Amino acid sequence: MADDIAQQFSTKMQLDKETGEMVSKNELKKRTQKRTKKAAAAARNGVSVSNPVQEPIPRGQLATAGEPVVDPDAIFKQDFLAQVYKERESKNVVTRFPPEPNGYLHLGHAKAITINFGFARYHGGKTVDSSVVIPLARFDDTNPDAEKEEYFIAIQETIRWLGFAPSKITYTSDNFQRLFDLAEELVKQKNAYVCHCNKAETELQRGGEKGASPRYRCAHANQDVETNLEKFRGMRDGKCAPQSAWLRLKQDIEDPNPQMWDIAAYQIPKDQKPHFRTGTKWRVYPTYDFAHCLCDSFEGITHSLCTTEFRMSRESYKWLNHRLVNFQPMQREYGRLNLTGTILSKRDIQSLIEKKIVRGWDDPRLFTLKAIQRRGIPPGALLSFIYELGVTTAESFVDNRRFQQSVRQYLERSVPRLMLVLDPIPVVIEDAEEQYLDIPFSPKDSKMGSHKIKLTKRIYIDRSDFREVDSKDYFRLAPGKTVGLLQIPYPVKAVSFTKDEASGAIMEIKAVYDKEGKKPKTYIQWVPEGCPTAEVRIHTALFNSDQPKLASGGFMDDVNPNSETIWPNAMVESGFYEVRRRAPWPKTEGEKLGEASLASVRFQAMRVAYFALDTDSTDDRIVLNQIVPLKEDLGKSSKG
Ligand code: ATP
Ligand code: MG
């Protein structure tokens, strides 16, 4: 690793940011010139190459991960390697994304997915004999108590939505028999034993709560092979109560690494729920520590990429594979991705749902990938955010504002613009004549086309854009004051207004064109009479602090009670129908693979925010979610 870092920081070599390779200064210059030429040619042909979405760049230790090895001293000889290479017909890099199907994927998993797929693609691209990219998705389905079919389905949908297509979907449960047989083999090697100690006893053996007391092994470690085999088979055959027996590895209790202190290899789950795929066939299940490294080897995974908290597990990973298989994948780690101002853990999200603080796993205020999808964030925006962060081993806490900024930049150039009014009040322009206006969907990109708006005598503006009493520092509509209306040739001046006596609310404003006056300082949005109404949901941070987990009283006490504002009677111009018909916006790879969803109906509501259609919408009911505000840190209504 020290070598990798030295190489990365060597002054003679420079990083080619597009490929992630370290190359000489000359080479980098050549490449840059070539790319500039290509970009210029593409621009002439009308192909946009600005801001291309790039693969994450394997850097540092991931960049030089090297070859996996055939372990020459493998204890338990089996010719898996030949079989593995035959099965995948090449020696390409093979990675896998290994989700536990016990919940929905979250933002951090998107990083794991992009790294595993991106790494394989990156190296696959370099392999001469084959252009096949081989990332797998493997379900780590070893704990039926926590797993549900619903999660299996949702996880696969999410991977597809992100735009990735695993070459194969595999399951740890495909290998339950093989794993059991290997566990027996381990017992025969005297490298595993059945233990009946409870949690407290095991903790004590491993040095107590603080790890300060002397470590020791229990008497079970001295059982002979026959006893262990009989007990292990007894566990399998239902002779032991749940959680009353474990198969433990016989490692090295003196080793400084806790992952070597006789960790568990098999357990009997508490609830004994049927397994989604194997039903009631098995009563014992392998642990992650046991199954993961072996399945990696079975599947010919060359690079087992995982997050840094598994750094210590490298040793047990090798220890086990060395004893049972002769193909050793290499484990490499990258840092977890976390976001400020939110929580990602499945258990914590579950409690927010149970307390009805959010609408469900896909509530747009959460950062599960289902929530991100429902909120309307395009997969391409999410990927470019992750690619921008790059691959590092440091665990990062990324500022939520940076995430929003990244999404905003992506939307800015890729979605159409419309006018929407959150809280409409009517304005009658007394001297207006009905006419049709042709309005472009984008001020910058003519390819997005245009749509017609009927300018009616009676239009609607936002209640917050009118004041009964004018003041010097105010530039929107007020009696005697002129304001510009977006897309209309003339500004309007308010002449009078009516109020509801009881509530004091403005009922109607009368206005006239102000054709002679100065150019107005502000232009406001409006919609014509007769356009569709919509329910608009504006979300702000679900928590008050940046680190909800560290808040006094825990994250539940940190919940912001005003994180959702609903505007039930908003109005959106009828161009919306065309935006809906032409979705997805933008036409990103991910959504082409999957169905164009409601959430892919996206637009910028001028002066308000970016919006997407919510899943609560129907053919006749428009419900919109705010994707991101137009500017950083604007308040609830996002209006300036
Ligand atoms: P959580 O406990 O946060 O719900 P997990 O680690 O239990 O997540 P898994 O389903 O086991 O979730 O994760 C699948 C893969 O995704 C693993 O390789 C894991 O290391 C990786 N992963 C999980 N969380 C993150 C994260 N925040 N950043 C990057 N990778 C992650
Ligand atoms: Mg996990």
Tokens of 248: 């433990």
Confidence of residue 411 (pLDDT cuts 50, 70, 90): very high
Dmax (CA) for the chain in angstroms is: 101
Of the bound ligands, which one is closest to the alpha carbon of residue 393? 1
pLDDT (tens digit per residue) in 132-166: 445 678 999 999 999 999 999 999 999 988 888 88
One-letter amino acid for residue 366 of the chain: L
Distance 100 CA to ligand 1 centre (A): 8
Pocket test for ligand 1, best of 96, 148, 289, 307 (most atoms within 8 A of CB): 307
Q: How far apart are CA 298 and CA 171, in angstroms?
A: 12
**Buried b / exposed e along 493-521 (16+ C-beta atoms within 10 A):** bbeebeeeeeeeebeebbbbbbeeeeebe
Check pocket membership of 379 for ligand 1, CB cut-off 6 A. Answer: no
In the reported structure, the alpha carbon of residue 416 is separated from the centroid of ligand 2 by a whole-number distance in angstroms of: 40
Q: Whats the size of the chain, residue-wise?
A: 640
Nearest-angstrom CA–CA distance, 312 and 7: 25
**Positions marked catalytic:** 100, 336, 346
Q: Is ligand 1 within 6 A of the CB of residue 336?
A: yes
Ligand that comes closest to the CA of residue 139: 1
107: pLDDT strictly greater than 50: yes
Residue 267 structure tokens: 């357990």
Query: Does the Cβ of 345 fall within 6 Å of ligand 1?
Result: yes
Rg (CA), the chain: 30
CA distances from 524 to 194, 435, 442, 471, 626 (A): 74, 19, 17, 17, 19
Helix axis angle, 225-236 to 176-188, nearest 10°: 160
Q: 23: pLDDT confidence band, cut at 50, 70 and 90?
A: low
513-562: per-residue pLDDT in tens? 999 888 899 999 999 999 999 999 999 999 999 999 999 999 999 999 99
Query: Quick check: CB of 306 below 6 Å from ligand 1?
Result: yes
4 ligand 1 Cβ < 6 A: no
- Burial pattern 400-432, b for ≥16 Cβ within 10 A else e, equals beebbebbbbbbeebbbbbbbbbbbbebbbeeb
pLDDT tens by residue, 262-275? 999 999 999 999 99
* Residues 626/620, Cβ–Cβ less than 8 Å: no
> Cα of 9 to ligand 2 centre, how many Å?
33
In the reported structure, the alpha carbon of residue 70 is separated from the centroid of ligand 1 by a whole-number distance in angstroms of 28
Least confident of 34-48, 192-206, 216-230, 266-280: 34-48
pTM: 0.83
Q: What are phi and psi of 287, to 5 degrees?
A: -80, 165
DSSP symbols for 367-418? -BHHHHHHHT--HHHHHHHHHHH---SS-EEE-HHHHHHHHHHHHHTTS-EE
Beta pairing partners, 286: 266
Q: Which residue has the tokens 């920081």?
A: 9
**What is the residue with the minimal CA distance to atom 8 of ligand 1?**
345
Residue nearest to atom 23 of ligand 1 (CA): 109
Query: Above 50 in pLDDT, residue 496?
Result: yes
